[in-house]
């Protein structure tokens, strides 16, 4: 399995549509972000921010089998896993461990160690209208090494205010250094990051000043109500699989050279290097200085063809326009 960062280029539209289709089918309606917002943040997830919003497809071979969305708060060194959905026709049951391992490798190879991972497991509504914990899903994530925080957590409503303004969920964490207890300041930081640096920031581009002020008021109200339950000196226990929680996960493999090389030498760059080597061989065979002079332009043109986006095609046309065959002066009518 592999993760592919989603974008809205023509060649990636099939992957994007497949990933969002899985998202629509597997996430509860009250827990979904509107897709137009997801598309906005796919385009602008890093604009002017030290934090990150990332949307990725989970692929097995060439088939899209899942959707993964997360925020990373750089100053706090907290990951908030918002959505992890899998729909694999070849497997039954919950998220396959291969997908989780792929996410683990991606995080460990792209971010410095020592971070906290947190996510919500939304409660389900019973037939009599009561909310209850999704015990099956919580139990599954505990087997993967995550732990359930002993705290009555609620997440803000996402799309409208016609009903409740927040919903209950279990807060799951993976703490650095295999710790199993949260102190009061850590829990406040997690809540502040999730509410204000994810939910409120996510909504800002889509709301006019009036509705945004109302959204901010509601989230402030929810945050205030939640932190009232936290007093200085409190420790918040977490429950999980004691054996699996002690396994070091999401560790940066400092001694592994191959993952680093894969991050530096992306597939396109490797193809470009091969093409460059071929051109150099041709220049040596032909013994033409002209090929060496235009080597950089030719290499750039080939890269544009490999990239195959609107901007790269425009750049390719510009590069090609720089190539002109020398015009031979006619000797007809010229004095001998």
Instruction: Indicate which CATH number applies to the domain containing 95.
Output: 3.40.630.30
Query: What pairing do the DSSP bridges indicate for beta strands 124-125 and 181-183?
Result: unpaired
**End of a domain among 252, 277, 297?**
252
Q: How confident is the model at residue 267 (pLDDT cuts 50, 70, 90)?
A: low
Residues 243, 299 within the same domain: no
Domain tally, the chain? 2
Contacts 24+ apart (CB under 8 A), 94-102: 94/136, 94/137, 94/140, 95/66, 95/140, 97/144, 98/1, 98/60, 99/1, 99/58, 99/65, 99/66, 100/144, 101/1, 102/1, 102/2, 102/3, 102/58
Distance CA 16, CA 273 (A): 29
336 domain residue, yes or no: no
Give yes or no: residues 58 and 103 share one domain: yes
In a shared domain, residues 270 and 219: no
Residues 189 and 45 in one domain: yes
Choose between 321 and 108: higher pLDDT.
Answer: 108
Segment 272-291 mean pLDDT: 70
Angle between helices 35-44 and 13-26 (to 10 degrees): 140
The yes-or-no verdict on residue 120 having pLDDT over 90 is: yes
Reported as a pLDDT band with limits 50, 70 and 90, residue 192 is: very high
Q: Are residues 21 and 119 in the same domain?
A: yes
Q: Show the domain range for 208.
A: 2-252
Residue 297 in any domain: the answer is yes
Averaged over 242-256, what is the pLDDT?
A: 58
pLDDT, average across residues 64-71: 91
Q: What is the pLDDT of residues 142-160, one digit of tens each?
A: 988 899 999 999 998 876 5
Residues 285 and 317 reside in one and the same domain:
yes
pLDDT tier at 292, thresholds 50, 70, 90:
low
Q: Are residues 197 and 94 in the same domain?
A: yes
Average pLDDT value for the chain:
79
- Between the ranges 54-58, 125-129, 272-276, where is the mean pLDDT highest? 54-58
């Amino acid at each position: 399995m592999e993760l592919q960062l989603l974008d809205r280029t023509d060649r990636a539209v099939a992957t994007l549509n497949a990933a969002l289709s899985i998202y629509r089918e597997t996430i509860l309606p009250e827990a979904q972000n509107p897709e137009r917002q997801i598309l906005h943040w796919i385009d602008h997830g890093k604009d002017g921010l030290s934090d990150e919003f990332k949307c990725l497809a989970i692929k097995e071979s060439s088939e899209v089998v899942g959707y993964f969305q997360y925020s990373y708060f750089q100053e706090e060194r907290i990951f908030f896993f918002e959505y992890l959905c899998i729909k694999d026709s070849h497997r039954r049951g919950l998220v396959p461990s291969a997908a989780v391992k792929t996410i683990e490798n991606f995080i460990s190879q792209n971010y410095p160690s020592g971070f906290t991972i947190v996510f919500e497991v939304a409660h389900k509504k019973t037939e009599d209208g009561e909310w209850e914990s999704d015990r099956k899903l919580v139990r599954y994530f505990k087997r993967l090494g995550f732990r359930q925080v002993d705290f009555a957590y609620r997440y803000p409503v996402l799309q409208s205010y016609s009903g409740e303004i927040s919903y209950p969920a279990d807060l799951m964490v993976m703490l650095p250094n295999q710790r199993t207890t949260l102190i009061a300041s850590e829990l406040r930081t997690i809540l502040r990051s999730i509410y204000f640096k994810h939910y409120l920031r996510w909504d800002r581009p889509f709301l006019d000043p009036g509705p945004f002020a109302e959204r901010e008021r509601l989230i402030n109200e929810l945050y205030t109500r939640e932190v009232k339950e936290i007093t200085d000196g409190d420790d918040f226990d977490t429950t999980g699989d004691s054996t699996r929680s002690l396994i070091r996960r999401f560790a940066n493999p400092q001694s592994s050279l191959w993952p680093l090389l894969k991050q530096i030498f992306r597939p396109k760059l490797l193809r470009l290097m091969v093409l460059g080597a071929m051109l150099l061989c041709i220049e040596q065979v032909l013994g033409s200085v002209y090929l060496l002079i235009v080597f950089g332009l030719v290499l750039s043109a080939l890269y544009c063809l490999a990239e195959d986006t609107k901007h790269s095609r425009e750049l390719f046309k510009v590069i090609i326009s720089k190539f002109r065959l020398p015009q031979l002066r006619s000797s007809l009518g010229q004095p001998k």
